[in-house]
Amino acid sequence: MGVITEIINTISRVVVLPTFYYMIIMSAAPILLAALACAIALKANAINMGTEGIMTMSALVAVLVSSSVGGQAKGGPWLGLVAAIIVGAFLGFLVSVFAFRLKIDIILVGIAMNLICTGASVFLMYVLTGDRTTTTSLSSGTLPQVAIPLIKDIPIIGEILSGHYILTYVAYILVFVMSFLLFKTKLGLRIRAVGENEDAAESVGISSLHIKTIALIISGALGGLAGVFMSECYLAYFSSGLIAGRGFVGLAACNMGSGNPGIIALCCLAFGIFYGFSNFATLSNLSIYALNALPYAVVLVGVVIYSVYTRNKELKRLQGLESEENLEYSQPAK
């Protein structure tokens, strides 16, 4: 009983704070970027399990490049951003090479990517900074925060919507860009065609290898962006465990939205609520560990609900098909 009262107390204390909503928007952004990375790959039926690893590696690269050119004062974070996107895109390309040219199961390639990137990032960090856990010794800096004119002056709303890191805004804008890319452009049409029926695409002269490779490169680049968010916005340094499963949470959100950017964004915001809560542990008597675990527990529940839902939908669809079949069979056979 005590726990429930405490939960209700915490919630009531937190939901009145504008910073809580600010935190939701911010916490959802890296997950959203990761989810969009997974989405374009999923639509091409080239599931990118390696997003977590790609995020890790590019987060580190961003910090290293930024500090090596002189950090904040010399525009380092921007160069770091570019470098991370390039590294991400390259890792995405590597996934496609292993999966489609060397014909290794794409799920295994993704898992290997995660393991290698996690290991390699710690190794690199140690070699270059002498520290095994964080890069706080480097001064890499952060990307700028943006105050939106007019909106920033509105009370409460201004506090919630304005003053985010630039990549937060980019993440939400990318939802629309991705929708446009997938559903309005020729490339998007081909990606969806290849993803759904590779043979059909091949039979009209589309190279599915080509399309899947492009999708994975874009996916990798987005994963790179998500990584930069963590090391140049969320924090101002890289640490082992920085990504903390956000790549996988993004993958979950992507699947719950079936790769459709709009729904994905909603799922990410929903997960963001719980990430938001975990930032307010000090306002609560609940265990900080429980609060930190909360987002992941919610993702798990979400995925279960989602799969039950899709199963039912699939059954309904099957039933629909069956009745169609009946129509055909009931034609007089003679």
Partner 1 sequence: MENYLVMENVTKIYNNGIIANDKVNFSARKGEIHAICGENGAGKTTLMKMLFGIEQPDEGRIIIKGKDMHLNSPMDAIKAGIGMVHQHFMQVPTLTVAENVTLGIEPTNGIVFDMDKAIKMTTECCEKYGFEINPKAHVQDLSVGVKQKVEIVKALVKGCEILILDEPTAVLTPQETKELFVQLKNLRDSGCTIIFISHKLNEVKELCDRVTVIKKGKTIGVWNIKDVTEADISRYMVGVDVDLDIPKKPAEPKENVLVVKDLTVYNEAGKKKVDDVSFSVRKGEIVGIAGVEGNGQREMIDAITGLSKYSYGSITLMGKEVKDMDIKGLRTNGLVHIPEDRNLYGCARSMSIRDNMIADKITDPKYNNGLFINEKAIKEDTDKWIDEFGVLCDDGDQLVGMLSGGNVQKVVVAREFTSHSELVVCDQPTRGIDVGAAEFVRERMVQMRDQGKAILLISADLAEIMSLSDSLIVMHGGKINAFFKDVKSLTEEDLGFYMLGVKHMSEDEIRGALHE
3-state DSSP call for residue 13? helix
Given the complex with partner 1, which of 130 and 205 has the nearer CB atom? 205
- Give the nearest distance from C-beta 201 to partner 1 in angstroms: 7
> Is 105 among the residues that bind partner 1 (CB under 8 A)?
no
Within 204-223, the residues that bind partner 1 by CB under 8 A are 204-206
> Is 193 among the residues that bind partner 1 (CB under 8 A)?
yes
Given the complex with partner 1, which of 43 and 246 has the nearer CB atom? 43
Helix or strand (DSSP H, E) at 145: strand 145-146
Among all chains, which residue has been given the structure tokens 């490779």? Answer: 213
> Is 103 among the residues that bind partner 1 (CB under 8 A)?
no
- Give the gyration radius of the chain's Cα atoms: 22
- Give the nearest distance from C-beta 319 to partner 1 in angstroms: 4
Among 2, 4, 149, 329, the residue binding partner 1 under the rule CB under 8 A is 329
Among 197, 287, 310, 312, the residue binding partner 1 under the rule CB under 8 A is 197
Given the complex with partner 1, which of 164 and 190 has the nearer CB atom? 190
Among 57, 201, 254, 256, the residue binding partner 1 under the rule CB under 8 A is 201
Among 192, 242, 280, 302, the residue binding partner 1 under the rule CB under 8 A is 192
- Write down how long the chain is: 334
Separation of alpha carbons 145 and 113, rounded Å: 32
Q: Tell me the one-letter amino acid at 146.
A: V
Helix or strand (DSSP H, E) at 165: strand 164-165
**Is the Cβ–Cβ distance between 195 and 42 less than 8 Å?**
yes
Given the complex with partner 1, which of 6 and 314 has the nearer CB atom? 314
> Is 322 among the residues that bind partner 1 (CB under 8 A)?
yes
- Give the nearest distance from C-beta 251 to partner 1 in angstroms: 22
> Is 104 among the residues that bind partner 1 (CB under 8 A)?
no
> Is 202 among the residues that bind partner 1 (CB under 8 A)?
yes
- Give the nearest distance from C-beta 313 to partner 1 in angstroms: 12
Among all chains, which residue has been given the structure tokens 């004062």? Answer: 73
Report helix angle 246-256 to 208-229, nearest 10: 130
> Is 189 among the residues that bind partner 1 (CB under 8 A)?
yes
3-state DSSP call for residue 164? strand
Q: Which of 28, 172, 91 is nearest to 99 (CA)?
A: 91
Within 288-317, the residues that bind partner 1 by CB under 8 A are 315
Residue 24 backbone class (left: φ over 0; alpha: ψ -120 to 50; beta: rest): alpha
Q: Which of 277, 260, 261, 266 is nearest to 302 (CA)?
A: 266
Stretch near partner 1 under the rule CB under 8 A, chosen from 103-111, 185-193, 230-238, 285-293: 185-193
Size of the site for partner 1 (CB under 8 A): 31
Stretch near partner 1 under the rule CB under 8 A, chosen from 45-53, 89-97, 199-207, 243-251: 199-207
Among all chains, which residue has been given the structure tokens 């979950």? Answer: 252
Separation of alpha carbons 317 and 319, rounded Å: 5
Among 133, 137, 185, 307, the residue binding partner 1 under the rule CB under 8 A is 185
Stretch near partner 1 under the rule CB under 8 A, chosen from 152-160, 191-199, 245-253, 299-307: 191-199
Separation of alpha carbons 272 and 23, rounded Å: 8
Two structure tokens written together for 180: 């446009």
**Is the Cβ–Cβ distance between 44 and 194 less than 8 Å?**
yes
- Site for partner 1, rule CB under 8 A: 184-190, 192-193, 196-197, 199-206, 315, 318-319, 321-322, 324-325, 328-329, 331, 333-334
